Amino acid sequence: MPQHRKKLIEVALPLEAINKASAREKSIRHGHLSTLHFWWARRPLAACRAVIFTSPVDDPGDGRLRFIEVEGRKAGARTVTVTKNEILTGFKQPEQYILALVGVDEAQATPLCYVRRPFEREPELAATSVNYDLRKLLARSTGAN
């Protein structure tokens, strides 16, 4: 009989970080893209991303800290946007940083793909985010556990 491995969501869901990110999303008012159109039924995106990522992934059980950026993209998208802070974290902690990519359409999500060391160079000084070619990143990715 195969041994049951706990999922990451069972052992290490970072509730404090999720709560802070959710509160920040809720408090965004003017000047942010999400305020262009008011949506009456706001979704807690930080919480959704955390649950989507931690549900299918096995707990590594080694106690190491990891920095994981989950990016969901609509089926057929050509680019993925990553913030400057995430890119710099990837350079400062290359062994612990993972970019997780998932495709989403109206019915379901595709399996997660992981890219280790996804960034080739640091962003320009004035940049706040960088667009990357999604196909190139997926070509360097590995599947879920």
Q: At 127, list the tokens.
A: 């940049």
Between CA 81 and CA 84 the distance in angstroms is 10
Cut 0.75: pTM above it: no
Q: Which pLDDT tens digits describe the chain residue by residue (145 residues)?
A: 567 677 777 777 777 777 777 777 666 665 555 555 555 555 667 777 777 777 777 776 766 667 788 888 887 889 999 989 889 989 988 888 889 888 877 767 777 788 999 998 999 999 999 999 998 998 988 875 4
Class of domain 64-145: alpha beta
Domain with CATH 3.40.210.30 in the chain: 64-145
**pLDDT of 145:** 45
